[in-house]
């Protein structure tokens, strides 16, 4: 039977047309604005910028581009308004007000520093600006207060310490003595408190033989390493970052610290290129499944796309997994919440509609499925990932071995329970494999 010319033309168009998703923009919601202005606040200067802030900015560049390529949110393109988070708290709060009043942003995604995550929410509530905290770790935000317009789409630091304790007991069940090496400010103190309390709850006979508190960015840790070498603990836990992380790796390796004790680090505050130089046997943890192999890109298309987009745009993955993955989680959370609100209302949603949609939301991300599971639906929970750095002699490069992923409900307290209370209560209701 002969094909008619019309059928041939239709067939040709069908063959030559790209997939519909890439071609057809998302339908524009009724009453939608011309653009969605999103304040992006991250550390663009200062010592934390290279390992946290800039990777987050790169991730925002890549992912906003992806969302806009696909038609935006509800047919509205995102216009990012980039702001530097560096500076004292009062300056950061003033910048937030400027974003709301002068830049007229529809929402703000931001904040790496825990101090800023504690300072900004009160102003966000006052101005009724939807604010998504994307990376800071303090448990205080939603455990000590309630907010309507504020959300955090990354897990808090509870999972760092609890995950470390669980991994340690799996890797070295006969541990008897531990020591802490943590920077002397809120992050270091909180990290040690959560880890040591969790470990002693899980294994009460563990003894703390040393706790050291170097100044933030001290750099030279010779005296601390000497002390740890004489104390000879089975395990050393630290939460150092920035120049202090590089120092303990370099100085500790030369002086045999990593041969003497199992060293465990609770937060992946290093760049991929720094990973190549980490000492063999070093245990590293991630606040969420943020690693090129975990989740498996073959099973998680967003993870595959995130790596591909960053590599295409910047010639390498978007830097430190910490800031970059958390930034994409925030963008995915916002997108999903808006789309849910549009679907529920049948029009472009008000901020209250988005807030309602955001509470207890679940959404997909390159880190896997994220649930706004605690803090009254305002605080995300994530799986905790730990692994051991191992030199692969065949490839002559470091790989992450002995990887373990602790499910979110194994390392996060239930909704309404504070992290330290949950630990003291013996992790009641924890759902561990």
Phi, then psi, of 30 in degrees rounded to 5: -60, 135
Q: Which is nearer to other proteins, 211 or 398 (CB)?
A: 211
Minimum Å distance from CB 272 to other proteins? 11
Do residues 238 and 213 make contact, with C-beta atoms less than 8 angstroms apart?
A: no
Nearest-angstrom CA–CA distance, 403 and 112: 26
Nearest-angstrom CA–CA distance, 30 and 353: 14
Minimum Å distance from CB 209 to other proteins? 12
Minimum Å distance from CB 50 to other proteins? 5
Q: Which long-range contacts (CB under 8 A, 24 or more apart) does 186-191 make?
A: 186/114, 186/115, 186/138, 187/114, 187/137, 187/138, 187/157, 187/239, 188/213, 188/216, 188/239, 188/240, 189/213, 190/137, 190/138, 190/139, 190/157, 191/157, 191/160, 191/161, 191/239, 191/266, 191/267
If you search the block for the tokens 């825990």, which residue do you land on? 114
Q: Which is nearer to other proteins, 260 or 345 (CB)?
A: 260
| Angle between the N-to-C axes of helices 321-345 and 351-358, in degrees from 0 to 180, rounded to the nearest 10 | 110
Minimum Å distance from CB 49 to other proteins? 5
Q: Which is nearer to other proteins, 243 or 345 (CB)?
A: 243
Query: Cβ contacts of residue 393 below 8 Å, gap of 6+?
Result: none
Minimum Å distance from CB 184 to other proteins? 7
- C-alpha separations of 39 from 97, 312, 332 in Å: 11, 25, 15
User: What does the binding site for other proteins look like in residue numbers (CB under 8 A)?
Assistant: 44-47, 49-51, 53-54, 184, 210-215, 217, 219-220, 222-224, 226-227, 229-230, 242-247, 250-251, 253-256, 271, 274, 277
Minimum Å distance from CB 53 to other proteins? 8
Q: Which is nearer to other proteins, 130 or 221 (CB)?
A: 221
Q: Which is nearer to other proteins, 139 or 183 (CB)?
A: 183
Nearest-angstrom CA–CA distance, 383 and 98: 35
Nearest-angstrom CA–CA distance, 121 and 132: 10
Q: Which is nearer to other proteins, 151 or 270 (CB)?
A: 270
Minimum Å distance from CB 124 to other proteins? 27
For the record, the structure tokens of 166 come out as: 């669980």
Q: Which is nearer to other proteins, 26 or 217 (CB)?
A: 217
Query: Cβ contacts of residue 360 below 8 Å, gap of 6+?
Result: 371, 372, 373, 377
Do residues 136 and 111 make contact, with C-beta atoms less than 8 angstroms apart?
A: yes
Q: Which is nearer to other proteins, 23 or 396 (CB)?
A: 396
Minimum Å distance from CB 196 to other proteins? 15
User: Residue 342: left (phi > 0), alpha (psi -120 to 50), or beta?
Assistant: alpha
DSSP state of 414: P
Helix/strand/coil for 262:
strand
Q: Which is nearer to other proteins, 42 or 303 (CB)?
A: 42
Q: Which is nearer to other proteins, 106 or 135 (CB)?
A: 135
Minimum Å distance from CB 150 to other proteins? 28
Q: How many CB atoms lie within 10 A of CB 118?
A: 19
Minimum Å distance from CB 324 to other proteins? 14
């Amino acid at each position: 039977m002969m094909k008619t010319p019309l059928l041939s033309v239709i067939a040709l168009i069908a063959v030559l047309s790209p997939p519909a998703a890439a071609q057809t923009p998302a339908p524009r919601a009724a009453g939608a604005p011309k653009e969605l202005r999103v304040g992006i606040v991250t550390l663009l200067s200062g010592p934390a910028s290279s390992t946290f802030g800039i990777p987050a900015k790169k991730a925002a560049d890549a992912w906003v581009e992806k969302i806009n390529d696909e038609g935006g949110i509800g047919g509205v393109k995102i216009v990012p308004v980039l702001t530097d988070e560096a500076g004292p708290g009062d300056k950061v709060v003033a910048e937030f007000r400027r974003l709301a009043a002068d830049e007229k942003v529809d929402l703000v995604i931001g904040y790496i520093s825990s101090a800023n995550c504690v300072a900004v929410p009160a102003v966000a509530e006052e101005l009724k600006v939807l604010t998504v905290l994307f990376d800071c770790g303090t448990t205080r935000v939603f455990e000590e207060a309630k907010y309507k317009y504020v959300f955090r789409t990354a897990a808090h630091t509870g999972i760092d310490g609890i995950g470390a304790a669980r991994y340690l007991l799996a890797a070295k069940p006969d541990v008897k003595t531990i020591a802490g090496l943590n920077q002397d400010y809120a992050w270091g103190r909180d990290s040690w408190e959560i880890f040591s309390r969790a470990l002693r709850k899980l294994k009460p006979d563990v003894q703390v033989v040393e706790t050291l508190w170097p100044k933030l960015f001290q750099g030279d840790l010779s005296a601390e390493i000497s002390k740890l070498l004489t104390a000879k603990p089975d395990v050393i836990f630290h939460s150092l970052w920035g120049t202090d992380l590089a120092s303990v790796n370099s100085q500790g390796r030369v002086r045999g610290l990593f041969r003497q004790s199992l060293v465990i680090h609770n937060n992946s505050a290093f760049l991929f290129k720094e990973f190549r130089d980490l000492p063999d046997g070093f245990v590293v943890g991630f606040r969420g499944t943020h690693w090129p192999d975990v989740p498996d890109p073959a099973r998680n298309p967003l993870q595959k796309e995130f790596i591909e987009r960053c590599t295409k745009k910047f010639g390498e993955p978007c830097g430190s997994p910490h800031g970059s993955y958390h930034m994409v989680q925030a963008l995915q959370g916002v997108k999903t919440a808006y789309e849910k609100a549009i679907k529920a209302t049948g029009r472009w949603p008000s901020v209250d509609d988005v807030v309602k949609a955001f509470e207890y939301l679940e959404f997909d991300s390159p880190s896997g499925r994220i649930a706004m599971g605690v803090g009254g639906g305002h605080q995300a929970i994530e799986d905790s990932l730990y692994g051991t750095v191992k030199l692969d002699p065949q490839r002559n490069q470091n790989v992450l071995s002995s990887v373990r992923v602790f499910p979110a409900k194994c390392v996060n307290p239930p909704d309404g329970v504070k992290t330290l209370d949950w630990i003291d209560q013996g992790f009641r209701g924890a759902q561990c494999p």
